Structure 1
Amino acid sequence: MAFRLLKLAIALTWLANVQVQAATTMWFNKTTIIPIGNGRLGAEVFGQIPTEVLVLNEDHIWSGSINDPSNKNCPGVLPKVREAIWKDDLYTAQSTVDASCMATPLKQQVFQTAGNLTLAFPSVASSSISAYNHSLDLATAIATTTYTTQDGVLFTRTSFASHPDNVIVMKISANVSGKVGFEAKFTTPMDNPKFSVNKSSLSLTARGTTMYTLPGSIEFLARAEISAVGGSVQPGRNGDTLSVSGADLAVIKIAIDTNYMRYDDISGNPEAKVSETLAAVRNKTWQGLRDAHVDDHAGLFGRVDITLGTPTQYSYLPTNFRKNLPGGADADADLFALYVQYGRYLGIASSRKTEPSNLQGIWNQETNPAWGSKYTLNINQQMNSWLSEPLNIAETLDPLWNLISEMAERGTVTAVEEYNITRGWVGHHNTGIWRDSTPIDAAFYGMWPMAPAWLMQNAYEHYAFEPNNIDWVKNVAYPLMKGLCEFYLDFVVVTPKDVEPQEYIVTNPSMSPEKGIGDYNDTNVSLTYGSTIDNSLLRDLFNHTTEFANLLDVDAEFAENLTATMGRLMPLSIGSEGQIREWARDYNPGGCVCCLFSIPHLYLLVDCLIACHSVFTHISHMYPLFPSAQIDPRLNSTLARAANVSLMLRGDSGNGWPTAWRANCFARLLDGEKAYYYMKRLLNSFSYDNLWSKNSVFQIDANFGGANAVAEMILQSHNGEVHLLPAIPSAWASGRVKGFRVRGGFTVDMGWSGGKLEEVVFRSTSGTGANVRYNDKVVPLELLKGGQRTLGILDFEAEHISKMSVLT
């Protein structure tokens, strides 16, 4: 207890000098990773003493090179595979796909680090410093480390990654003249490294590594320019360092670039790119760089405010203490507000203009990270995107649309070479910088051509949240969706009458991603026909594509064909245990995908083996509940109860992203307490001290998925209604949000106290109508574009409900 009081006293002492916002400030009284990024460049700031480390990333630094990985034997064996599945000979089906349909090489390339910039300060033992603080201001995207040495000198390091100026910047200063000194050096594990130094800059050139037989081809240059006020900057004695001594302050500007232009063009000149970037900032002051960075970041981040409850004494403790409070998250509700804002911050920092956030966002220290730090398309990449629309940072999805468009280019070839389908395009459950679209790793989880349909659900939401996006629908979304529908129309088959008397149209082969359905010939298999997620994805894709065709007044006959095909898809059904059936029939599921292949880290395999004997991560058959809305407790209580049974049977899961997924699902079931249980579990058990999500190793998807779950608990908008406070737990009896987005083109501000709505303000960006639900009452609302309306609790009393007037 005395120890905890001491920590509290330290925190409160710090607060006497610094204004801290519980929902937008993270701070630590120890070294930990603080991530900064501008979408393309990322850095991990450790806050270490006496040697600071910046782990550097650029989002085009990947291993290997482009190749044609398609297995051209696949079209010849697909009839045999399908026939084996009809006969329930699933071992033959899966082993045939393994032998004749998987990519060459079998693994995809991986996201890699650029290396480190180390800053060695005059030797100061960490035990001899005081007033240490390592913080991140989410509102400004600025990381700051401060500490005082034994001789009373206060040192400050301030860092940010500027999107407008395309550089990472660090300022190092002291409150006593002439005290700033350090030695800077690049290190890297990448291939063919070369280091050089001149009067005021350090340079590193290297190349992505050879991986899975494909030679490294991404060449990159990292350069750090250092300027100082007072003192000197000069090359070190070893020829690969730059030394600053006797300065009042020093500023480091870091630029990194590659030869990557597009997946099929690596003709870029890293030297020219980096030189141009640094020349543009060379004469800009620190303050000028900072102001441009803050203005740019605030334009996105500042759209949303969120407060949950009243801050307590715990709200101002170091973030790592807040996360691990003895009383749990109930003692500090605003920690969840911080989690939401941190998710938004990470999205802005890791997904702007170039590549979307990958499995680790943009922050990776390794040459062969877990799961390749790729774009995993059977839940993880989709989860990365969930928060962007409701939490008002839709611009961070622009890189995703580019990735999908380029994958579709390669996917037209894959459709022909893997399936002998000449219309449309296809992809599978992973892709990367080379936009691979073939099935990888093993048939058990790689032979799943439905991942692009899930990505198209994200694309549809981009329109649903902003119906003014008609040009985007015309030029981006509809062409992608139409091409994908063309592929699936040629891929699906009719079930034999002796298999399904109703002769449904289904996918074959099919799977519920990464979930085994039982042992066949002593081998766990996943391939079958007509899985629930496949049917549901096709239903959404065909429906949304038809809607877009009608919106654009094109392809009427094609849309009619989609509608007719939708009518023959296998419907949702309830299984023998009262659950949503995961496949076309009930199986005795078993097995864990991660135990079926070689994992580079033994501790990951151990974690996986333990988890496999208790719970399972994926809940793909819950796609129709969330993120789709085909199951809605307001419309079909029978299916909702079955979804609840499915979630109970699947269990809690032992990792971050599956926990976030469950929180979203229970929010859609309007069960706020259960959703809250999973959010507490996510924070307490599956978050590191810096709130990065944990999946044995850092994996960012749960940060995004968890932030979205909080939004779903506060505000939902699907199936024609905006639902206020649909799943608020008792712990969040009071709160306020500003700038949330809902489908139909509305921005919403809302406050509540005592568990009851106070008021809600709707602003329309599109001029559409909305049905607004609070508890069991629904108010119809119409606003012209730019219109605004405030609703209070009285508006939801029965005698007050009437058609709202159109407002200008």
Structure 2
Amino acid sequence: MKRRFWAGPVVLLLGAALTVAPDARAEVEPMAAEPHTLWYDEPAPDTDEGWEARSLPIGNGAMGATVFGGVRAERLQFNDKTLWTGGPGVADYNFGNWDAPRPGALAAIRQRIWTEGGISPNDVLAALGHQSDTPRQRRFGAYQSFGDLRLDFPGLPEEAGDYRRQLDIARGVAGVSFTAGGARHTREYFASAPAGVVAARIAADRPRGVTFTARVAVPADRSVTARAKGGRLTVKGALSSNGMAYEAQLQVLNQGGTRTDNPDGTITVTGADSVVLILGTGTDYAPDYPTYKGEDPHAKLTARVDAAAAKGYARLSAAHRADHAALFDRVKLDLGGSLPATPTDELLSGYGTTPAADRALEQLFYQYGRYLLIASSRPGTLPANLQGLWNVHEAPPWQADYHLNINVQMNYWPAEMTNLAELAEPLHTYVDGLREPGRVTARQMYGADGWVAHHASNIFGHTGAWDHPAYFFPESGAWLALQLYDHYRYTLDKRYLKRTAYPIMKETAEFWLDFLQRDPRDGKLVAIPSRSPEIGPATAGASMSQQILWQLFTDLREAAQAVGDGRQAATAADVLAKLDPGLRVGRWGQLQEWKEDIDDPAETHRHVSHLFSVHPGRQISPRTTPELAEAAKVSLNARTDAGTGWSKAWKINFWARLLDGDRAHKLLSDQLKTSTLANLWDTHPPFQIDGNFGATSGMTELLLQSHLGTIDLLPALPGAWADGRVAGLRARGAHTLDLAWALGRLSEARLTSDKGGSVTLRNDAFRAGARITTDHGRPVASRADGDTVTFTTRPGGNYRIVPS
């Protein structure tokens, strides 16, 4: 059924103009098309720095590319998420576990902590048999650049007139256009999820105006052969580190002119009217523990490229655009922005000077986060990593791996709330795949049942501890389990809960039932050793550890009740009664980071992990625990608004949950000014994609929250967003909402309920009452209570809510 806004009375935002509609059941005019294009008036420099700051990304979840846009020499750097060094193909790979058993090591660490109160994290890892060394890091491996597609145009100049390079995130299409030699040249690129390839079309408006040579270059540290036959360029070989087989195929389809397969494995097109390029990649990776080895990629890759070539460019493009729009178009956001006719890098550098342009950039940045998730995470692929799926390096920062102590979770914060729930499937499958190796780690390192994962992992089931004292974090598996349960809270998909989330949650809890120890000082259950990530000593009952575990057993109790497992629900309730919740107000009014009151008010570390209970947890809220919420604010203020890109993004979410929209918007402004590159990628520095995803999540939290069971409409609306509309946001309980507001006040809401049932909405405007009708205009009975209104929905029902 079509979902619509209804007017009355409502203020409609069209650009910067406001129009008041009459109090009648007239439909609001459709939201105007949003400006969704990043564009630039020059190519990206053909350097690693140019790749990071200025190239434009496209992706289909499994493979992606970045467009540089050179005139005479074009470069598409491309990736396949399965191309990794390390893993079982490397001698002595042990999934991060001990090289030899260390009986009594954990007990000795715990005794030291009970005696000394806190010990060096270096001592913890040394006792557990870990130390930083090159062989271990070599075994772990790193995500790789697959290679570069190079197009050399000998008849074109280095620079050209009327140049434009762009990325239309609403269509998922990048493009380059310019004038040279009396002709208009156009190049279009997209990564098709339906076809599983990257496609391009090179054209000129002058007959026989396209001449170039195509080649594929791969990094030097691997074997390689290149062959051109029948317009198909095939590059294949194996990585030197682990023997992983890889293959890329490029099909060149020319319209007019001639095509020559060269002996050196390149292809030359001469005098064509247009040329279509189809690029596919594959490896012999398979997500199967313990070998992670599949079949040679050649046969399946050949069939995939053949099928794409047979469809032709028009059909490939139409299928891609329909597929992309089906996801992207679910959410629309209008903050009253108006894009000036300036390149995106200039728009970014001028941010903070023109309100209309600022709002337009914020809208673009919000949707760019959704675009990047669509491009880097599709069902059946690996999850988005630290750089999504784009990486130019053989030795990327932090291995471009899966950091499990916030970063991969952060990548998926916007998935549910911005109506992209199915894009979280790769994360769910990945977590499920960690259980088998994680059971070995739990038994070997801790003598525990269940499964465990630590701070970082790869695509080869690495669940053991990482070789750095800052990163001892066995709570990673628990945090991941919580994220899976939140998918159920958004969808109420009981089958998913029973088959996926609940088994993982139960097995996660089994580990912690063994790991938790009774604190002799107060009898509470605590994690020992535990640590606040990247800061402070190894101790007993660090606040973040306890907050994660409180959430785990709270969610497990809820999930057990939902699936009818009374015994497990009782066990979870018993643990919660004994568990230290990790919530204390310290001597200077702060939310304590450790069980002991040792927080330093001068500490400004980028991690504020002890505020997990504010976000993504739900222990602390101004609505339910105002004293603790104030303590959280004290901690946040002490840490300051400074930080890396991902840190600023998390702080946007913190302040949104603390209902301070203006402070959250200030953090968003800081992120755009100081932690965003010219191509709008987030920078740590260097480039790290979680900041993009975290910012989109935080902006959504300003407009809609549902973590406490009630759906808060505009809970932390910034003053800068006084007028606007949003359509298609998701709330827990399986609801979709549209909102319109003017002068900072809710004008109208629209709710579609997937499953039906009782729903409670909150907004200050409801204190004067609300009128609720169905999509056919029939009144719906409701109950008002302060700033909330409650009514019953039917499955698939559409409802309009207008404050009185």
What TM-score bracket applies, with the shorter chain setting the length? 0.7 to 0.9
Q: Which of 528, 547, 566 in structure 2 is aligned with 1:536?
A: 547
Q: Which of 163, 166, 177 in structure 2 is aligned with 1:135?
A: 166
Contact kept, 8 Å, 1:323 with 1:335, in 2: the verdict is: yes
2:403 and 2:523 mapped to 1: Cα distance?
A: 33
| Cα 1:771/1:163, change in 2 over 3 Å | same
Query: 1:514 Cα deviation (Å)?
Result: 1.1
| Cα 1:683/1:453, change in 2 over 3 Å | same
Query: 1:485 Cα deviation (Å)?
Result: 0.3
1:782 and 1:445 mapped to 2: Cα distance?
A: 49
- How does 1:20-31 map onto structure 2 within 5 Å? 22-31=34-43
1:568 aligns with 578
2:755 and 2:296 mapped to 1: Cα distance?
A: 43
1:409 and 1:638 mapped to 2: Cα distance?
A: 42
2:231 aligns with 200
1:315 and 1:412 mapped to 2: Cα distance?
A: 56
Q: Deviations over 1:30-63 (max 9, x none)?
A: 2231100000011011111211111110010000
Counterpart amino acid of residue 470 in structure 2: Y
Scaled by the length of structure 1, what TM-score is found? 0.87
Runs of 5+ in structure 2 lacking a partner?
Answer: 1-31, 44-53, 765-785
2:187 aligns with 157
2:480 aligns with 455
2:567 aligns with 557
Contact kept, 8 Å, 1:64 with 1:217, in 2: the verdict is: no
CA RMSD of aligned residues (A): 1.8
1:95 aligns with 123
Contact kept, 8 Å, 2:152 with 2:212, in 1: the verdict is: yes
Counterpart amino acid of residue 145 in structure 1: V
1:594 aligns with none
Query: 1:477 Cα deviation (Å)?
Result: 0.4
Greater mean deviation of Cα atoms: 98-107 or 280-289:
98-107
1:39 aligns with 61
Contact kept, 8 Å, 2:118 with 2:540, in 1: the verdict is: no
Query: 1:769 Cα deviation (Å)?
Result: 2.0
Q: Which of 468, 472, 488 in structure 1 is aligned with 2:512?
A: 488
1:665 aligns with 654
1:14 aligns with none
Count matched residues: 726
Q: Which of 52, 56, 79 in structure 2 is aligned with 1:57?
A: 79
Contact kept, 8 Å, 1:325 with 1:331, in 2: the verdict is: no
| Cα 1:733/1:315, change in 2 over 3 Å | farther
- How does 1:689-728 map onto structure 2 within 5 Å? 689-728=678-717
Q: Is 1:511 the counterpart of 2:536 in the alignment?
A: no
1:342 aligns with 368
Contact kept, 8 Å, 2:125 with 2:467, in 1: the verdict is: no
- How does 1:52-451 map onto structure 2 within 5 Å? 52-66=74-88, 67-68=93-94, 69-71=96-98, 72-88=100-116, 90-91=118-119, 94-102=122-130, 105-107=135-137, 108-127=140-159, 129-149=160-180, 151-189=181-219, 190-210=221-241, 216-236=242-262, 239-263=264-288, 264-311=291-338, 314-325=339-350, 327-328=352-353, 330-332=355-357, 333-352=359-378, 353-421=380-448, 423-442=449-468, 444-451=469-476
1:582 aligns with 593
Query: 1:372 Cα deviation (Å)?
Result: 0.4
Contact kept, 8 Å, 1:102 with 1:438, in 2: the verdict is: no
Counterpart amino acid of residue 81 in structure 1: I
| Cα 1:489/1:689, change in 2 over 3 Å | same
1:440 and 1:270 mapped to 2: Cα distance?
A: 31
2:517 and 2:109 mapped to 1: Cα distance?
A: 13
Contact kept, 8 Å, 2:155 with 2:211, in 1: the verdict is: no
1:781 aligns with 791
Q: Deviations over 1:727-746 (max 9, x none)?
A: 11111111111110011110
Query: 1:658 Cα deviation (Å)?
Result: 0.1
Name the SS of the counterpart of 1:192 in structure 2: coil
Contact kept, 8 Å, 2:120 with 2:538, in 1: the verdict is: no
2:727 aligns with 738
Contact kept, 8 Å, 1:82 with 1:93, in 2: the verdict is: no
1:491 and 1:563 mapped to 2: Cα distance?
A: 17
Name the SS of the counterpart of 1:678 in structure 2: helix
2:16 aligns with none
Query: 1:94 Cα deviation (Å)?
Result: 4.0
Contact kept, 8 Å, 1:74 with 1:419, in 2: the verdict is: no
Contact kept, 8 Å, 1:424 with 1:486, in 2: the verdict is: yes
Query: 1:446 Cα deviation (Å)?
Result: 3.0
1:140 and 1:663 mapped to 2: Cα distance?
A: 28
Contact kept, 8 Å, 1:532 with 1:582, in 2: the verdict is: yes
Greater mean deviation of Cα atoms: 333-342 or 374-383:
333-342
Contact kept, 8 Å, 1:758 with 1:792, in 2: the verdict is: yes
1:209 and 1:491 mapped to 2: Cα distance?
A: 40
2:303 and 2:103 mapped to 1: Cα distance?
A: 49
Name the SS of the counterpart of 2:392 in structure 1: coil
Scaled by the length of structure 2, what TM-score is found? 0.88
Counterpart amino acid of residue 175 in structure 1: D
Contact kept, 8 Å, 1:23 with 1:335, in 2: the verdict is: no
2:326 and 2:646 mapped to 1: Cα distance?
A: 29
Query: 1:24 Cα deviation (Å)?
Result: 1.7
Q: Deviations over 1:408-461 (max 9, x none)?
A: 11101111111111x21111011111021000122x233221011111121111
Identity, in percent, stands at 35
Contact kept, 8 Å, 1:112 with 1:208, in 2: the verdict is: no
1:769 aligns with 758
Query: 1:135 Cα deviation (Å)?
Result: 1.1
1:232 and 1:624 mapped to 2: Cα distance?
A: 64
Q: Deviations over 1:578-597 (max 9, x none)?
A: 1110111122559xxxxxxx
Counterpart amino acid of residue 413 in structure 2: W
Counterpart amino acid of residue 187 in structure 1: A
Name the SS of the counterpart of 2:575 in structure 1: helix
2:570 and 2:119 mapped to 1: Cα distance?
A: 38
Counterpart amino acid of residue 587 in structure 1: I
Contact kept, 8 Å, 2:485 with 2:501, in 1: the verdict is: yes
Name the SS of the counterpart of 2:416 in structure 1: coil
1:574 and 1:588 mapped to 2: Cα distance?
A: 11
Greater mean deviation of Cα atoms: 444-453 or 225-234:
444-453
Name the SS of the counterpart of 2:116 in structure 1: coil
| Cα 1:470/1:75, change in 2 over 3 Å | farther
2:389 and 2:708 mapped to 1: Cα distance?
A: 35
Contact kept, 8 Å, 1:507 with 1:529, in 2: the verdict is: yes
Contact kept, 8 Å, 2:292 with 2:460, in 1: the verdict is: no
Contact kept, 8 Å, 1:81 with 1:92, in 2: the verdict is: no
